[in-house]
Structure 1
Amino acid sequence: MSTGPGPAPCARPDAAPHPLRFGYGTNGLTDLRLDDALGLLADLGYDGVGLTLDHMHLDPLAPDLADRTRQVARRLDALGLDVTVETGARYVLDPRRKHGPSLLDPDPEGRARRVDLLVRAVRVAADLGAHALHCFSGTTPPGTDEDTAWKRLAEALTPVVEAATEAGVPLAVEPEPGHLLATLADFHRLRETLGDPGVLGLTLDIGHCQCLEPLPPADCVRAAAPWLRHVQIEDMRRGVHEHLPFGDGEIDFPPVLDALAATGYQALTVVELPRHSHAGPHFAGRSLPFLHRAARATPEGPEGRTP
Structure 2
Amino acid sequence: MPDRPLLGAALQGDDLERLGERITAEHRDVELQDFFMAEVLNGDWRPEAARIKALLSGWRGRLGIHGPFWGIDMSTPDPEVRVIVTRRMMQALDVCDHMGADQMVVHSPYTPWDYHTLDHFAFRSAYDWLIANCRASMDPVVRRAEALGVEIVLENVQDKDPDIRGTLARAFDSAAMQVSLDTGHAEFAHGSFGAPPVDYYIRRAGAQLRHVHLQDSDGYADRHWPPGEGRINWPAVFRALHELEVMPRLILELSDKSQIPAAIDWLAAKGLAR
Per the normalisation by structure 2, the TM-score is 0.76
Indicate which of 90, 93, 96 corresponds to 1:122. Answer: 93
How do residues 216-227 of structure 1 correspond to structure 2 at under 5 angstroms? 216-227=197-208
CA deviations over 1:174-196 (Å, ceiling 9, x no partner): 1211xxx65432213313443x3
- 1:186/1:71 Cα in 2 relative to 1: closer, same or farther (>3 Å)? same
How do residues 59-208 of structure 1 correspond to structure 2 at under 5 angstroms? 59-63=40-44, 65=46, 69=49, 72-88=52-68, 99-105=70-76, 107-138=78-109, 147=126, 149-177=130-158, 183-194=161-172, 196-208=173-185
Higher mean C-alpha displacement, 232-241 vs 248-257: 232-241
Cα RMSD, aligned residues only = 3.4
Equivalent AA in structure 2 for residue 50 of structure 1: E
Secondary structure of the corresponding residue to residue 31 of structure 2? strand
2:267 maps to 1:291? yes
Deviation at 1:86, TM superposition (A): 0.8
| Aligned equivalents of 2:21, 2:45: Cα separation in 1 | 25
Deviation at 1:290, TM superposition (A): 1.3
CA contact (8 A) 1:253 1:294 kept: no
- Which consecutive unaligned segments of at least 5 residues does structure 1 have? 1-15, 90-98, 298-307
| Aligned equivalents of 2:134, 2:245: Cα separation in 1 | 30
Equivalent AA in structure 2 for residue 222 of structure 1: R
- 1:192/1:225 Cα in 2 relative to 1: closer, same or farther (>3 Å)? closer
- 1:255/1:182 Cα in 2 relative to 1: closer, same or farther (>3 Å)? closer
CA contact (8 A) 2:166 2:179 kept: no
| Aligned equivalents of 2:187, 2:36: Cα separation in 1 | 31
| Aligned equivalents of 2:163, 2:110: Cα separation in 1 | 16
- 1:86/1:252 Cα in 2 relative to 1: closer, same or farther (>3 Å)? same
- Which consecutive unaligned segments of at least 5 residues does structure 2 have? 119-125
Deviation at 1:163, TM superposition (A): 1.0
Deviation at 1:262, TM superposition (A): 3.5
Deviation at 1:227, TM superposition (A): 0.4
CA contact (8 A) 2:166 2:205 kept: no
CA contact (8 A) 1:39 1:79 kept: no
Secondary structure of the corresponding residue to residue 144 of structure 2? helix
2:212 maps to 1:231? yes
The number of equivalent residue pairs is: 255
CA contact (8 A) 2:32 2:64 kept: yes
Secondary structure of the corresponding residue to residue 113 of structure 1? helix
Indicate which of 215, 228, 232 corresponds to 1:247. Answer: 228
Deviation at 1:71, TM superposition (A): 5.4
| Aligned equivalents of 2:221, 2:15: Cα separation in 1 | 30
Deviation at 1:43, TM superposition (A): 6.5
2:188 aligns with 211
CA contact (8 A) 2:202 2:241 kept: yes
CA contact (8 A) 1:52 1:88 kept: no
Deviation at 1:40, TM superposition (A): 5.2
Per the normalisation by structure 1, the TM-score is 0.69
- 1:54/1:129 Cα in 2 relative to 1: closer, same or farther (>3 Å)? closer
| Aligned equivalents of 1:37, 1:115: Cα separation in 2 | 34
Larger RCO: 1 or 2 (CA < 8 Å, sep 6+): 1
2:2 maps to 1:25? no
Give the fraction of aligned pairs with identical amino acids, expressed as a percent. Answer: 21
Deviation at 1:232, TM superposition (A): 0.5
